[in-house]
Structure 1
Amino acid sequence: MRRVLVLVSVLCAVLVSLCACAWGGADEGGGRPPGAPTGVTAAAGSATSVHVMWNAVSTDHGVRVYEVYRGPTKVKEVPGSAHMVDVTMLKPSTSYAFTVRARDTEGRLGPPSRAVRATTPAVAAADRSAPTRPGGLRGRAVGSRAVQLSWSGATDDRAVVSYDIHQGDTKIHSVGGNQTATVVTGLRPGTRYSFTVRARDAADNLSAATGTVRVTTPGTDDGRGTAPTGFRATTHREDGAHHLDLSWVPPRTDGVVVEYEVHLDGRRATSLVYGGSAPRERATYSFYLGPENGAVHRVRIRGRLPDGTWGGFSTERTVTTGARD
């Protein structure tokens, strides 16, 4: 009887140990997944599309992608630097529910956001008439990181379903056709921005753009907070020519920086765009300099931030071809 009790005690201890290891491994090795996105909104963009937006999720390892779901089905996946998407190929006169989930750079998927609903309008047959151009676009800074825009409503032979807001050449937001004002957030202090607005009807006909309004956010931004850090530059010789080798730590921003611009001797020399997952810890890049020995070059780099503006320049480095090849 004593032997049986001893065996039972040993088995219980082993099971407890295994359970503790399993829970500890998941907690310590994997870490916490991202939280649920907040501020999720959905608005019909046309009879066959819905514009979904959300706030950025803050996480220790950064967000790699956001996954957008229509009901239980994943319909879109966008980079972590994006906080909006147009879900297309929908049915007219139909109500849809959307949720958003964040997946971090370690592959962990966070919980879904609260569900938001949008109903697409009916489509008008053979509607080829675009809305009129919205007018009177005005803008003013609201603090150092937001701009309020307002405009005069457009008209359409049927109805204006939505307004698209563009920052430069990029669509950054969409609001319902009954709105003639919005607030653009996530901007930088001391930065000049350009905005235009276009109207869209249920058949996806798009109006001409308003005139451009330019707004400068108050405050100062010397670029140091948005510049790549740990910037290094060396050269190597290969196939009879010298190449410049760069490495840097990407700026810590709300989203992933996927585009960089390299300046050589005070001028833009080249740029690079990451088509897949952009590095978040240390990035590297090399390009051709030429065959000349002893050439002295100054080099620095900057990234295009998720808000569409260029961040600050890194520390400038000086290299001499052949010095350490």
Structure 2
Amino acid sequence: MRGPFSLFSHLRHLAPCAALVLVASCGWTSAGEGDGDAPPGAPTGVTATAGTATSVHVMWNTTARADAYEVYRGTTKIREVPGSKHMVDVTRLRPSTLYVFTVRARDAEGQPGPHSRAVRARTPATVADDRSAPTRPSAPHGRAAGSRAVQLSWSAATDNRGVASYDIHQGDAKIHSVGGSQTAAVVTGLRPGTAYSFTVRARDAAGNVSPATPAVRVTTPGTGDGRATAPTGFRATSHREDGAYYVDLNWVPPRVDGEVTEYEIHLDGRRATSLVYGGSAPRDRATYSFYVGRDAGVSHRVRIRAMLPDGTWGGFSTQRTVTTGPGR
């Protein structure tokens, strides 16, 4: 096999459940050196919701290493947003029309990743001379769903022609949208130990918007020090094969909203290698083994951290010390 795998000629033990791309640094270089050039992965969690008869709200999870996102309608690129954003309102559409959208990420070097799965949204029929806004949604409620997400709910608004969607605002910024038949939403990508304020507005097919609900205030649990996002159950052992020593790792991925597909391994206080799952990443327990040399009796300190779905690094696992065994 060619490409990044050739950097570890002695690497034999890869996770069997997914295609794995290694971004390794020969000689255990310091962090920031020797990074691989793999493009970003396909955005996950893509949704498309008709906001009015002429607009659709497209959202996705933040992708690691994304410098920008490209939004496609069918095969046509229609919008581009910076990597700090993960939603867009697509406007000037036709009423009563089915649209198909995909999103792909592009890194700082201009490399595009694969397209996301396709999502579909049908715009509702237009309503002539509709100037009546929906009523205000009532009974808003919110609770933390882990340290990085909030579950919101509300009672349905009413409208003379029907509610097309609900817009969720964080402060003055619209951050999410769901269909008019839904009265709940999960807001992700939040920070542990942080206070948030949300409001909800109803929107009809003509674009009329209701007054906002009273603010819902929720504080996510945690300290913000990374402990809530660190891999747990981290273990490190060593084995010998064909005259060489390998460090064998296993851990439980952090419990966050979205899939964790990238990890960074530190050996003896320096970044040793990164690994990226190209297929479905393990959710219950992950394993990984890598070559560390041919000398017996050498002790190494090792720890690991995950790239979170919002594109930031989570906290480090507990550090373990492992010693290569005696020679044979």
- TM-score of the pair, normalised by structure 2: 0.58
Name the amino acid aligned to 2:39: P
1:172-223 Cα distance to aligned partner (Å, 9 max, x none): 0000000001111111111000000000000011111000010011111259
2:84 is the alignment partner of 1:85: no
Deviation of the 1:159 alpha carbon: 0.6
In 2, distance between residues paired with 1:52 and 1:208?
A: 23
Q: Residue 171 of structure 1 aligns with which residue?
A: 174
Other-structure match for 2:231: none
The residue aligned with 2:66 is 63
Among 179, 186, 197, the alignment partner of 1:183 is 186
Identity percentage of aligned residues: 74
The Cα shift of 1:81 comes to 0.9
Moved over 4 A (4+): 27-30, 222-225
Tell me what 1:94 maps to: 97
Distance 1:51 1:75 in 2: 13
Deviations 1:104-146 (A, max 9, x none): 1111011111111100000100111111111111101111111
Match of 2:212 among 209, 212, 216: 209
Cα offset for 1:56?
1.4
| TM-score, normalised relative to structure 1 | 0.58
Q: Are residues 1:144 and 2:147 paired?
A: yes
Q: Root-mean-square deviation (CA), in Å? A: 2.6
Rg: which structure is higher?
1
Separation in structure 1 between the aligned mates of residue 171 and residue 142 of structure 2, nearest angstrom: 14
Match of 2:49, SS state, is strand
What one-letter code is carried by the residue in structure 1 that aligns with 2:158?
Answer: T
**Structure (1 or 2) with the greater helix fraction:** 1
2: distance between equivalents of 1:222 and 1:115? Answer: 36
Aligned length: 201
Structure 1 residue 107 corresponds to structure 2 residue 110: yes
Listed as ranges, the gaps of 5+ residues in structure 1 are 1-19, 226-306, 308-325
In structure 1, the residue matched to 2:127 is 124
- Counterpart of 1:147, as a letter, is V
Measured against aligned partners, the alpha-carbon deviations of 1:252-287 in whole angstroms (never above 9, x if no partner) come to: xxxxxxxxxxxxxxxxxxxxxxxxxxxxxxxxxxxx
SS at match of 1:122: coil
- Higher relative CO (CA 8 A, sep ≥ 6), structure 1 or 2? 2
Letter in 1 for 2:55: S
**Structure 2 counterparts to residues 22-61 of structure 1, below 5 A:** 31-58=37-64
Q: 1:296 corresponds to which residue?
A: none
Q: For the residues of structure 2 that align with 1:30 and 1:36, how far apart are their CA atoms?
A: 17
Which letter maps to 2:53?
A: A
- Following the alignment from structure 1 to structure 2, what is the Cα–Cα distance between the partners of residues 221 and 68? 32
- Unpaired runs of at least 5, structure 2: 7-22, 24-33, 229-309, 311-328
Secondary structure in 2 matching 1:110 = coil
Q: Secondary structure at the match of 2:224?
A: coil
Matching of residues 149-298 of structure 1 within 5 Å: 149-221=152-224
Q: 1:141 to 1:224 in 2, by over 3 A?
A: closer
1:269-306: per-residue Cα shift (whole Å, max 9, x none)?
xxxxxxxxxxxxxxxxxxxxxxxxxxxxxxxxxxxxxx
Name the CA distance, whole Å, in 2 between partners of 1:29 and 1:186. 25
Instruction: Find the aligned partners of 1:137 and 1:37 in 2 and give their Cα distance.
Output: 30
Q: Report the Cα distance in structure 2 between the residues aligned to 1:128 and 1:223, rounded to whole angstroms.
A: 48
